[in-house]
Amino acid sequence: MTTDTTSFCTTATSQWGTFFGIGQEVFTRVWEQLTDPSGNSVTYISMEIGADLDVFHPLRDRLLAAGIVASDDPPLDFHVKKFVNGPTKIPNYSGGLGVLAGDTLKSFADLRLPVAAISLLYRKGYFSQVMDSRLGQIACRTEWHPEQTPGLYLLQDPERPGTPLEIEIPFFDRNDARVPARAQVWMKLELAGDLQWFVPEILLDFSVPATPEWIRNAADQLYEASSERAKAIQRRLLGASVVPIMQRLGITSRTIHLNEQHGVVLVLHLIAEELRQRFGDDYAMLASDDDIRDAADRVRQRVVYTIHTPVKAGHDRFEKNLYAELSHSFCQRILHLLAADAEHPGMFNFTVLAMRVNRATNAVSRLHKLVTQKQFPAFAGQITAITNGVHHLTWVSPNRAQLYDATPLLAGWRTDPGVFRNAEGLKDDETFRAGLRDAWQRDTEHLVRTVNRMLIEHRNQMLSTWIDPPNYLSHLEGDQGRLFADWYTIGFARRFSTYKRADLIFEDLERLAAILKQGGFRVNFVYAGKAHPADEPGKALIKEIIDLQDELFHMTGGAARLVFIPNYDMAVARMMVAGVHAWLNCPKRPLEASGTSGMKAAMNGVPNISIMDGWWVEGYHDGTTGWKFGYEAPIDEAALREDPDALLYAEDAASFYALLPEILETFYHRPEEYLDRAIMNLARNCPVFNTHRMAAEYARNYGLRLPEEKEERLASLAALYQSDTPP
C-alpha cells in the first residue's frame, strides 16, 4: 500500500517543530496542560529511558500492521519511510532502571496523565557487548544516529525557525566562573496506545560546538565511568538541566519525580531559585543557613523520589574536593547543610540529599521498603512502597496477545490489565488451555530457532574474524551443537552484578548432573546480560558462565546445554521471557530491590523460579505461580553485606538442587499442572505487576487535579493492589 487514508498518518505542528503520528488537537491538548500556569502536571527525571521501537511502538506497529510503507503526500512520505525503514533501537538505557522508566511513561500516556520526562541523549548510547570465549565481554562502541531514528525530533528555536533550539545550563568551575554547558534538545513522543495522548521525553544533547570538550565527553555515553569526575559531571548535567529546559519550553509542573537520585542536583537549583525570589540576585550573600533550610522545606513539597536499590554502588557519593571544581560555591554551601555523609566526612552523599528534600519517598517493593528503612533510619517514617510493574502491552508476545484477544473472559485486557483477574476462570477452559500451550510452544520454537541460528553464525564468524564464539555449542556439529524446543528451557537475563549471582545454580555441577541423570531430564539454559565495563567482578561472572559450558555439557552427557546470547537488550528480553518455560532469579536476598524481568515472564504466564526477594515476595502464592528457593534471611546487617564471603552460595544452591527434581517432574510428567501455574500467573500477577496499576499508585502522590473519568480509571487501577502493606 502506498496511499494512506488512515487517521494516524498525520502531523502536529508547533513552534518547536513538527511531530508525526499525532493529531494537532492532541498535541495542543497535552501541551496546554504541561504549560498551564497552575502547574497541574508532573516532570519525571531519569538518567536513562528504555523504549526501543522494535518491542513496542503504537505508531510503527500500526504502520506495519496496515502494510503502509509510503505516502503520496511528500512530507508524510518522509516520516512514514523513516518509521518503516529506520533504525529501531534507542540505546539510551543500560538495564532495569531505564526499561522501568520507559514502561512507566507508556502507562502515563495510556492513562492520559499530564507528564513530561527529562533525560540526556547519549551520542554513544550505552556500550554494545561482543563476546569472546577467551576474553569474555568486550565493550564496543554503539553506533547510532538520532537524526535517522524515527520518532526523535530535534526541537527548533521558535525565534529562528529552522535552527536548533539551544539552551545553556548553569555550570561553574572552582572560581565560580560560568562554563558554557550548552545543549540542543531532542524530543521523543511516548504515545498512548490509541494515539490520543503522549508523554514528551525531552533529551538534552550536549554535543554542540560551544560546549567544552571535557563536558561533551562526560555526556557522550550513559554511565560513563572512566573517572569519578566524569560520573559527577554526567549527574550534574541531568540535574542542572531541569529548571532551564522547563523554563525554556514553558513546562510548569509543580511536581517533579526523581526516578533514582541521579538528577537530585536539581533541588539545589530549585533552592537557589526560591532564595532569589526572596532576596533578589544577591541571595548567595544574604541568605543564612536557616534561610537555606527553609527554602529546602518549600522545595521539598515539589519532589517525589523513588529509590531503586539497597546496593552501595547505586548511591552516589562524591569527594567534596572533586565537587568544588564542578559547581558554584553556593551549591556547595547547600550540600554542606543537606548532603553531609555521616560515614565519610570528606564526601557529599546524594541519596541523603534526595531523602531530605522530597515529600514522598518510594521504595520499589514491600521488602525493599523494609530494607530502605533499615538503611536510612532517620527517614524511616516517610518511606512507603510502590511496587514496580511492567507495561503489559510491551512484554506480552504477539502470540500470547492473539490468544488473549480471542478470549472473551479477557476482553479489554489491553486497556485494563485488571481483567486478568478473570483468568482463574480459564483453568478449566480447554480451548484456552490448548491456545496457551500452542502460543507458548510457538514462542519457545522462535527462541530456540533464533539461538540455533546464532550458534551457526558464530561458528562461521570464527572462520572470518579473530573472535572466538562465546558458546561451546558453536564448536559442536549437528544435534550436539543446538538446543531443542521440547527440552525444559530455563531463562536468566539481567545486568551481571555479583549480588545477582548468575552462576549460582552451577555451583555444584556434579549434583546438577546427578539430578538430570536420575530423572532422565534434559534442560536448555539460556542466559544473557551485560556487566558495566568498569565492574570487574561482574565481567568475571560472565566469563565464568562461558567457561563452564563445556564441563556442564560433558558431565551431563549433553543433557544440559547452556547458551549465552550476547548484547542483551529489550528485544532479546521480550523473546526470552515469552519463549522459556521458567524464568530464574537468584539474587542474594534482600539486595534485589524489585526486579522486573520476572514480571515480564508472568505477563506471558511463564512461572518464576526465584529467591524470595524483590517483587517475588509479593508474586509468589504458595507455589501456584511458580517456585521459591533459598534462605529467607531476616533483614539485618549480615543480610545486607555484599562481599563475596557473604553471598550464601552454598546454602542457596543446595536449596535450588533440592527443588529442581520437583520442577522437572511437573514439567515432563504432569504438564497440566505446569500449565495451571501459567494460568495462575495471569490471574494473580498480571493485574498487579503492571505499570498501569503502578502509575495509578504514583498518581496519588502527585496530587494532580484530574477530570472525573480519569480519576475513576485511576481509582479502579489503584484498587487492584495496595503496595504499601507489610510483606
3-state DSSP assignment of residue 379: helix
How far is it, in rounded angstroms, from Cα 631 to Cα 651?
7
Contact window for ligand PLP (CB under 6 A) among 27-35, 175-183, 231-239, 589-597: 589-597
- Cell 548532603, residue located: 339
Please report how close the Cβ of residue 569 comes to ligand PLP at its closest, in angstroms.
5
- Residue 565: which H helix or E strand, with range? strand 560-565
Contact window for ligand PLP (CB under 6 A) among 113-121, 191-199, 378-386, 592-600: 592-600
Report the residue number, 96 or 469, with the smaller CB distance to ligand PLP.
96
Q: Does 368 bind ligand PLP (CB under 6 A)?
A: no
Report the residue number, 10 or 596, with the smaller CB distance to ligand PLP.
596
CA distances to 445, 515, 517, 561, 695 from 520, rounded to whole Å, are 22, 8, 5, 14, 46
Report the residue number, 96 or 607, with the smaller CB distance to ligand PLP.
96
Please report how close the Cβ of residue 573 comes to ligand PLP at its closest, in angstroms.
3
Q: Rule CB under 6 A: choose which of 33, 71, 241, 596 binds ligand PLP.
A: 596
How far is it, in rounded angstroms, from Cα 481 to Cα 271?
62
Report the residue number, 21 or 389, with the smaller CB distance to ligand PLP.
389
Q: Rule CB under 6 A: choose which of 569, 613, 652, 697 binds ligand PLP.
A: 569
Please report how close the Cβ of residue 174 comes to ligand PLP at its closest, in angstroms.
38
Please report how close the Cβ of residue 613 comes to ligand PLP at its closest, in angstroms.
11
Please report how close the Cβ of residue 95 comes to ligand PLP at its closest, in angstroms.
4
How far is it, in rounded angstroms, from Cα 49 to Cα 125?
11
Report the residue number, 116 or 688, with the smaller CB distance to ligand PLP.
688
Q: Rule CB under 6 A: choose which of 362, 597, 604, 701 binds ligand PLP.
A: 597
Contact window for ligand PLP (CB under 6 A) among 173-181, 317-325, 444-452, 566-574: 566-574
Please report how close the Cβ of residue 124 comes to ligand PLP at its closest, in angstroms.
18
Report the residue number, 95 or 125, with the smaller CB distance to ligand PLP.
95
Report the residue number, 96 or 239, with the smaller CB distance to ligand PLP.
96
Please report how close the Cβ of residue 612 comes to ligand PLP at its closest, in angstroms.
15
How far is it, in rounded angstroms, from Cα 468 to Cα 430?
48
Closest-CA residue to 30 (of 103, 104, 109, 120): 109
Q: Rule CB under 6 A: choose which of 8, 186, 568, 656 binds ligand PLP.
A: 568
Please report how close the Cβ of residue 647 comes to ligand PLP at its closest, in angstroms.
17
Contact window for ligand PLP (CB under 6 A) among 83-91, 453-461, 557-565, 595-603: 595-603
Could you give the string, one character per residue 62-101, with x where binding to ligand PLP holds by CB under 6 A and - elsewhere?
A: ---------------------------------xx--x--
Output Rg (C-alpha) for the chain, integer angstroms: 25
Report the residue number, 529 or 687, with the smaller CB distance to ligand PLP.
529
CA distances to 29, 39, 110, 394, 690 from 107, rounded to whole Å, are 18, 21, 5, 10, 9
Report the residue number, 201 or 569, with the smaller CB distance to ligand PLP.
569
215 and 206 Cβ atoms separated by less than 8 Å: yes
3-state DSSP assignment of residue 702: helix
Report the residue number, 316 or 569, with the smaller CB distance to ligand PLP.
569
Closest-CA residue to 306 (of 264, 266, 267, 273): 264
Residues 91-108: b if buried by 16+ CB within 10 A, e if exposed: bbbbbbbbbbbbbbbbbb
Please report how close the Cβ of residue 140 comes to ligand PLP at its closest, in angstroms.
17
Please report how close the Cβ of residue 61 comes to ligand PLP at its closest, in angstroms.
18
Report the residue number, 255 or 498, with the smaller CB distance to ligand PLP.
498
Closest-CA residue to 533 (of 222, 135, 138): 138
Report the residue number, 318 or 395, with the smaller CB distance to ligand PLP.
395
Cβ-based burial of 656 (10 A; exposed 0-12, middle 13-18, buried ≥19):
buried
- Cell 511513561, residue located: 105
Q: Which three-class secondary structure string do you get for 211-245?
A: CCHHHHHHHCCCCCCCCHHHHHHHHHHHHHHHHHH
Report the residue number, 191 or 586, with the smaller CB distance to ligand PLP.
586
- What residues contact 288, with CB distance under 8 A and at least 6 apart? none
Please report how close the Cβ of residue 308 comes to ligand PLP at its closest, in angstroms.
10
How far is it, in rounded angstroms, from Cα 548 to Cα 546?
6
What does residue 289 show for φ and ψ, rounded to 5 degrees?
-60, -40
Could you give the string, one character per residue 466-495, with x where binding to ligand PLP holds by CB under 6 A and - elsewhere?
A: ----------------------------xx
Q: Rule CB under 6 A: choose which of 215, 245, 531, 573 binds ligand PLP.
A: 573
User: What ranges make up the beta strands (E) of 567-672?
Assistant: 582-585, 608-611, 626-629
Q: Does 595 bind ligand PLP (CB under 6 A)?
A: yes
Q: Does 570 bind ligand PLP (CB under 6 A)?
A: yes
How far is it, in rounded angstroms, from Cα 584 to Cα 496?
14
Size of the site for ligand PLP (CB under 6 A): 13
Contact residues toward ligand PLP (CB under 6 A) are 95-96, 99, 494-495, 568-570, 573, 595-597, 600
